[in-house]
C-alpha cells in the first residue's frame, strides 16, 4: 500500500482552511491543521492539529516540513483608507499573508523535490487579481502571493511540484462576517446594504461562496489530474472578473 500523502493547511480552525482540511482528509491525506485558534482546531476530526501563530516567522521552522501538500490559507482583513491605515497593521498583514507562505514554501520544497512530487496551493482571492478601495494591505499581500506562486511553479516544475492560486470572491467565513460590519462603518451603510451593494455588486452569481466549494477546487489541484496545472490562478468568483 502506498504511503499516504501529508498536507499542511494553515488557518485551518474555521472557514476555507477547515473545509480544506476536512476535504483532503476525506481523500486519505494525513492532514496537519495549523492555526492560533486552539478551540477551533479542536472541532476538527481525523486530523493532526498544531496551535501556532503564523505571523511569528521565527517559529515557523518548528512546523513539519516533510509535507507533500502545502495549503497556504491563513488570512486577516483590515478595512481603512490608505491615509488612515495603521502602518503596523499593514506590516502584520503582509508578514502573515505573504512572508509566512514564502517561508513555509521554502522549508517544504526540499522534501517535495526529494520525493519528486508536491503540491503548493495558495488560497488567494479575487483581490489577488482585482483591487478594491480601503483594502491596501490585503490586496497588496494577495497580489504578492500570486507572483510568489508563479515563481514556485517555474522552479518546481522539473521536480514534480506544482503551484497554483485559488481565487474566490467573498466566501461565507468568519473573516467575511466580520468584514461586513467593518464595511458598514466605513461606507455608512447597514450590514444588509454592504452585502448587496458592496460585496455582491460586482458578481453575476448573487450569493456568498461556500467554503466547501473552495475545498473541492483545492482537492482537484492536489489530485491525480493536476500534474499539468501549475502557475495558474483558478478563479471562483461568481463572474466578478468577467467584467
Tens-place pLDDT, residues 13-35: 999 999 999 999 999 999 999 99
User: Which residue bears the cell 476530526?
Assistant: 45
pLDDT value, residue 174: 87
| Cell output for 106 | 521554502
Binned at pLDDT 50, 70 and 90, residue 1 comes out as: low
Count of positions (residues) in the chain: 243
User: Angle at which helices 87-94 and 136-156 pack, to 10 degrees?
Assistant: 20
Q: Alpha-carbon dihedral of residues 155, 157, 162, 163, nearest 10 degrees?
A: 30
Residue of 156, 152, 85, 87 lying closest to 124 (CA atoms): 152
Instruction: Assess whether pLDDT exceeds 80 at residue 195.
Output: yes
Mean pLDDT of all residues in 90-109: 98
CA atoms within a 13 Å half-sphere pointing along the CA-CB vector of 114: 9
Percent of the chain whose pLDDT exceeds 70: 100
Query: Could you give the CA distance from residue 33 to residue 58 in angstroms, rounded to a whole number?
Result: 19
Query: Catalytic residues, which ones?
Result: 138
| Cell output for 65 | 516540513
Least confident of 9-23, 145-159, 166-180, 224-238: 166-180
Q: Answer whether 180's CB lies under 8 Å from 191's CB.
A: yes
Mean pLDDT of all residues in 119-146: 97
Binned at pLDDT 50, 70 and 90, residue 198 comes out as: confident
Percent of the chain whose pLDDT exceeds 90: 88
Query: Could you give the CA distance from residue 56 to residue 205 in angstroms, rounded to a whole number?
Result: 38
pLDDT value, residue 185: 84
Amino acid at each position: 500500500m502506498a504511503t499516504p500523502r501529508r498536507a499542511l493547511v494553515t488557518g485551518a480552525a474555521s472557514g476555507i482552511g477547515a473545509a480544506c482540511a476536512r476535504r483532503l482528509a476525506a481523500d486519505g491525506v494525513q492532514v496537519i491543521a495549523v492555526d492560533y485558534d486552539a478551540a477551533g482546531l479542536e472541532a476538527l476530526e481525523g486530523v493532526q492539529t498544531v496551535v501556532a501563530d503564523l505571523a511569528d516567522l521565527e517559529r515557523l521552522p518548528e512546523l513539519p516540513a516533510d509535507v507533500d501538500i502545502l495549503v497556504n490559507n491563513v488570512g486577516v482583513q483590515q478595512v481603512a483608507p490608505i491615509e488612515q491605515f495603521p502602518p503596523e497593521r499593514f506590516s502584520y498583514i503582509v508578514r502573515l499573508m505573504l512572508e509566512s507562505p514564502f517561508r513555509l514554501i521554502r522549508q517544504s520544497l526540499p522534501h517535495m523535490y526529494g520525493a519528486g512530487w508536491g503540491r503548493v496551493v495558495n488560497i488567494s482571492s479575487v483581490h489577488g487579481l482585482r483591487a478594491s478601495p480601503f483594502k491596501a494591505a490585503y490586496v497588496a499581500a494577495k497580489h504578492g502571493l500570486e507572483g510568489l506562486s508563479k515563481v514556485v511553479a517555474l522552479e518546481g516544475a522539473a521536480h514534480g511540484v506544482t503551484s497554483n492560486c485559488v481565487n474566490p470572491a467573498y466566501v461565507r467565513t468568519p473573516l467575511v462576517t466580520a468584514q461586513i460590519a467593518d464595511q458598514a462603518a466605513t461606507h455608512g451603510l447597514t450590514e444588509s446594504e454592504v452585502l448587496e451593494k458592496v460585496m455582491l455588486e460586482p458578481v453575476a452569481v448573487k450569493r456568498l461562496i461556500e467554503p466547501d466549494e473552495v475545498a473541492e477546487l483545492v482537492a482537484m489541484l492536489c489530485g491525480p489530474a493536476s500534474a499539468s496545472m501549475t502557475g495558474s490562478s483558478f478563479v471562483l468568483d461568481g463572474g466578478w472578473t468577467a467584467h
